[in-house]
């Protein structure tokens, strides 16, 4: 059996994904910037101190994986910053673009030698990256970065099909985490449970799809 790598699992949705996937028997490795007591308590493997928007952290993670193979890779780490048209800062737009859009592509490429065949990649995106679903405006850096990662996920699905690697773009719902200031419709545990259902349902037949965690297909 290979390992399951989850990015940004110190808190929020990633922490719950780590807890539940470990509970299902996965050998979980959490790649995170900040270690937490809750994460330590799970007893999963942790590689911390990784600023995942920096390529050198990708090499560190690849080295930590060593000879093992990655069966499941979950790109969960993400950032929401600012949002108002009048005041969203250039550096916040850039920071969101780096971690939300560029990291899933660059980290996938860096880890490719360690990714099993077959394997699954889940990108935790957002329906805020859906152009057809945008009915309220704002959140420039966040929406642009999630729309961009949706585009990248479809390209990854095409480019990795011959390696038997399937790719899903998954919206976790509106989840009560630090990112939302504790607002939302779902607890992280419920979101993680549904996201795992989507990962389990991912195949090369449906690769490249964009789903709500409840299984509904979302528009681009
Ligand atoms: N919550 C929602 O309603 C919602 C809705 C749609 C999509 N999402 C997406 O779901 C994912 C998880 O979000 P969440 O709600 O669980 O948010 P969260 O509680 O704010 O957690 C975000 C995680 O990402 C990590 N992270 C951010 N930037 C990083 C970087 N440069 N390098 C390494 N790690 C970094 C954080 O690590 P640190 O602790 O080190 O900062 C943290 O572990 C994100 O991709 C988010 O966009 C969430």
Provide the 10 A C-beta neighbour count for residue 129. Answer: 27
Q: Is the pLDDT of residue 1 over 90?
A: no
Rounded to 10 degrees, the C-alpha dihedral 106/30/73/109 comes to 20
d(CA 10, CA 69): 22
Q: Tens digit of pLDDT for each residue in 159-198? A: 999 999 999 999 999 999 999 999 999 999 999 999 999 9
Is the Cα dihedral 95, 100, 102, 103 positive or negative?
Answer: positive
Atom number of ligand 1 nearest to Cα 77: 24
Average pLDDT over residues 139-156: 98
Provide the 10 A C-beta neighbour count for residue 47. Answer: 17
- Asked if CATH classification 3.20.20.140 holds for the domain at 3-212, the reply, yes or no, is no
Residues framing ligand 1 (Cβ under 6 A): 8, 10-14, 32-34, 50-53, 76-79, 99, 124, 126, 171-172, 174-175, 177-180, 184
pTM score: 0.99
Q: Structural domain boundaries of the chain? A: 3-212
Mean pLDDT, the chain, rounded, equals 98
pLDDT band at 127 (very low <50, low <70, confident <90, very high): very high
Among 78, 110, 177, 214, name the best residue to mutate to test ligand 1's pocket (greatest count of ligand atoms within 8 A of Cβ). 78
Q: Tens digit of pLDDT for each residue in 5-48? A: 999 999 999 999 999 999 999 999 999 999 999 999 999 999 99
Residue nearest to atom 1 of ligand 1 (CA): 175
């Amino acid at each position: 059996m290979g390992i399951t790598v989850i990015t940004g699992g110190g808190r929020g949705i990633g922490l719950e994904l780590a807890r539940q996937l470990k509970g299902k028997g996965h050998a979980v490795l959490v790649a995170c910037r900040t270690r937490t007591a809750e994460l330590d308590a799970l007893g999963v493997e942790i590689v911390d101190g990784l600023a995942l928007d920096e390529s050198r952290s990708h090499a560190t993670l690849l080295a930590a994986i060593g000879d093992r193979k990655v069966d499941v890779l979950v790109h969960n780490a993400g950032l929401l910053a600012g949002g108002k048209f009048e005041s969203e800062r250039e550096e916040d737009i850039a920071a969101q673009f780096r971690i939300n859009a560029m990291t899933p592509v660059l980290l996938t490429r860096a880890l490719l030698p360690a990714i099993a065949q077959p394997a699954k990649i889940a990108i935790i995106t957002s329906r805020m990256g859906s152009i057809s679903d945008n009915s309220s405006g704002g959140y420039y850096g966040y929406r642009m970065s999630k729309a961009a990662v949706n585009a990248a996920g479809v390209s990854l699905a095409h480019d990795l099909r011959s390696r038997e690697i399937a790719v899903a773009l998954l919206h976790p719902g509106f989840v009560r985490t630090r990112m939302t200031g504790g607002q939302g419709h779902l607890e992280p545990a419920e979101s993680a449970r549904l996201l795992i259902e989507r990962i389990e349902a991912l195949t090369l037949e449906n690769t490249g799809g964009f789903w709500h965690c409840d299984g509904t297909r979302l528009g681009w």
